[in-house]
Structure 1
């Protein structure tokens, strides 16, 4: 019996079946699969050949118009820039999540309707294959939509938890122009961000700033200067508007127990002096670094080094040009001998190395066989490598894990509403800016008797290099601080020994690749 012959109903013998349309009776073998496939590729496309053709055309036009608008935005602003600009706006992400869910439901509904309208009514063979094909088509839409909604929710939560609604501290907001303007940094020539590596943990009281790095960026060119602040500086000065300046008018001076890395804990132990301040330790650390360098610190980012390992792993590791052999899971005895605490003797060898989180952490923190200044250089190298190699596309592969690490181990006082402007700034650094490093080593700074006026001159010189005809020596002490710099109390030490001899190369900022 052919498909065109009417079948008898299952009721009374001789009763004709319900009338069927010509399309239902003469459905070619491939029509069903073709229509469902078209509807999966383009919403509504499969309905055009059915009696629901009007709805099909409406969905096709809506999908094409939406796609063209998205392509136009990506073309105008660049794909990566456009995606990142949206990714830092929690309110936009929430609306996108709703839109994705609605679009997915409509799209899946159109596929189901296409399958129902294209089902060969008089063809029983292969029915389960057709059901499976339609179900698979729906899954092709539902799975990525569900993943997209999950990622959007993770990103929105990340922005809310890591960044702040308002600026940190009074007067610390960067005076940005309209964030939606073509250049939100038009009125901000330079921005200074302090990166604080914290070794806080359950087994320790308070926070010790294991590493301090001031990132100073020219907002027009993206040129960036990394300034490592030695954590063992003594007699560090407090600005006059910090309450600790009244307790330590000559700087944090009480011998080798009063070091730069103790400022956070010191401020947190005196809540009576910081009434109404949520994070006195963070604010005081920012204040002191600003006073040391003569730069206004605009924002700060705190990274718990216990999460640094997971952060690097989530990014897929980092490539570093290792300049010196560094031991792993080791310490140095008082006699100078290196002992390994792991199961085996392990070294990070010189040369270009791809470091996972564990090795990157040891490379950044190990002091065995070297000193704090070598350690600071390595930290600047790793920070520069991470900044340069961060690939937004590849990060999506492990994004939920990365977001979890960031939420648990990173906090930034950058206002969430200004993040789109910071996206633009980071892309300027990656696309055309140079990254230089200012080495405040023991050849430049005596940690026990630091000359803060000289440090500010070196910073000023690195940011605004003098003319080639200038013969001024960066190591000269006692000259006035650079214009615009602040002069901290206690910045000179009458009992300090003579400063070490410094050659111009020792104190000059150099391209990061030259030191890494």
Structure 2
């Protein structure tokens, strides 16, 4: 008896000796074996050398996955940092492609080993359909995973290209969120909204501090280059507002040598002077690009309190509105929800912007991100610019997930407590420190406590932007979200 014949006999009876029913079961079994343990079909009835290699690679991959799970168990920030690392994403993309092709080849070989020509037409059709579905599933999943990893890698490299990290100060990060709104009728970039998110690094508890864009006489710390020009604050007239600092300094490379955007550096200095908070990072959000993000996640659900105009002074003829009620807003509607000032005002708009932030935070679940990963990654490049390095992504994503389960407190520097024409900056800084103390248990910069700020300041009659205060429970708009201990409840 030859060695080849002995090998065939050792693997059981020849397929021709089996009944049609057993041949069909054998064919299905070979397909499923390839799905559960790649290479097992070849090890059983095919080329054992190929089967051993495939199974060895499969076992090593499972062992590697188990090692990662064990290493990063409980370390959510580490996991997120790993899956957003550009080098890891590149290796993953290449590896997935190679493994998918190899696995598909094993399925096709298992179909060959099943001897479909020895089956009845109906049973052969079932085997072909099953095997084709498995091949398409493997290759389709690989293509999707490759697209997601490529888009994510490109977005991370383009947006999070900074290399310098900024450690938390007294256990907190202070992030400046800027909504940029450049247009044909504007000189330079005029920040449309500015909010400082003061975040506890361990718990994710957050205080949002909103700064009115029309704040005047903003001070600069003595360490700021702008202090040389404006030692008594940015007090060059009614046009010298907080959101005009960027334009005033955008060409002042003499003040900020080496800075890519001197105007942005000056704006950060102004925010630090106003709040007395040291800014770790900034995130500039392109308000028009914001539409792409909202559309990428299928819209955002909002409780619209009052009818909102979706037009400005120049296109009032459109007369289109977002009607009141709980509804899912698409990207364009969400943008107008955040920006609309017709039949409204800056302070009500600031409240709506906070409500939009907390709604996006609540609704951006890991499942939503995973299912829309490609579109989200593509929107990120046109949506964001930041000085946050990619290596900090894991920690901040983890803090964002923690923040979803905490109450977000808000502080807005709005009338009648704060006059935007003649602001009381010591009062402003005390308000911010007190909110952080009550939320986090410590001062934003030094861990010191401060006195309870006065409950209100006398409204400045010369300031036309100041309006009478309203009871939040009676406020039909979302201006009530400006100063609350639980932003979610106010929205």
Partner of 1:341: 317
Larger Rg: 1
Pairing of 1:117-516 with structure 2 (within 5 A): 117-119=113-115, 129=125, 134-167=131-164, 173-175=165-167, 189-201=171-183, 204-322=186-304, 324-331=305-312, 340-342=316-318, 344-349=319-324, 351-430=325-404, 432-465=405-438, 472-475=452-455, 509-516=484-491
Shift of 1:374: 1.0
Of 130-139 and 31-40, the range deviating more from structure 2: 130-139
Of 270-279 and 291-300, the range deviating more from structure 2: 270-279
Of 245-254 and 142-151, the range deviating more from structure 2: 245-254
Distance 1:82 1:118, change over 3 A: farther
Shift of 1:200: 2.1
User: How far, CA to CA, are the matches of 1:144 and 1:109 in structure 2?
Assistant: 15
Aligned residue for 1:273, secondary structure, equals coil
User: How far, CA to CA, are the matches of 2:51 and 2:338 in structure 1?
Assistant: 59
Distance 1:371 1:424, change over 3 A: same
- The answer to whether the 8 Å contact 2:196/2:209 transfers is yes
Q: Does 1:108 align with 2:83?
A: no
Partner of 1:484: none
Q: Number of matched residues?
A: 455
User: How far, CA to CA, are the matches of 1:426 and 1:88 in structure 2?
Assistant: 15
Distance 1:277 1:266, change over 3 A: same
Q: So what's the TM-score if we normalise by structure 2? A: 0.82
- The answer to whether the 8 Å contact 1:44/1:60 transfers is yes
Distance 1:326 1:452, change over 3 A: farther
- The answer to whether the 8 Å contact 1:446/1:500 transfers is no
User: How far, CA to CA, are the matches of 2:453 and 2:177 in structure 1?
Assistant: 29
Partner of 2:44: 49
- Decide which structure has greater helix share: 2
Distance 1:364 1:108, change over 3 A: same
Distance 1:366 1:508, change over 3 A: closer
Distance 1:131 1:473, change over 3 A: closer
User: How far, CA to CA, are the matches of 1:175 and 1:80 in structure 2?
Assistant: 19
Partner of 1:485: none
CA deviation map 1:261-293 (0-9, x unaligned): 111111113233322111112111111111100
- The answer to whether the 8 Å contact 2:38/2:58 transfers is yes
- The answer to whether the 8 Å contact 1:198/1:305 transfers is yes
User: How far, CA to CA, are the matches of 2:117 and 2:308 in structure 1?
Assistant: 74
CA deviation map 1:352-385 (0-9, x unaligned): 3322212211111111222211111111111121
- The answer to whether the 8 Å contact 1:188/1:219 transfers is no
Distance 1:389 1:72, change over 3 A: farther
Shift of 1:424: 2.2
Distance 1:203 1:152, change over 3 A: farther
The CA RMSD over aligned residues, in Å, is: 3.5
User: How far, CA to CA, are the matches of 1:118 and 1:207 in structure 2?
Assistant: 67
Q: Does 1:39 align with 2:34?
A: yes
Of 421-430 and 153-162, the range deviating more from structure 2: 421-430
Shift of 1:65: 5.4
Of 443-452 and 354-363, the range deviating more from structure 2: 354-363
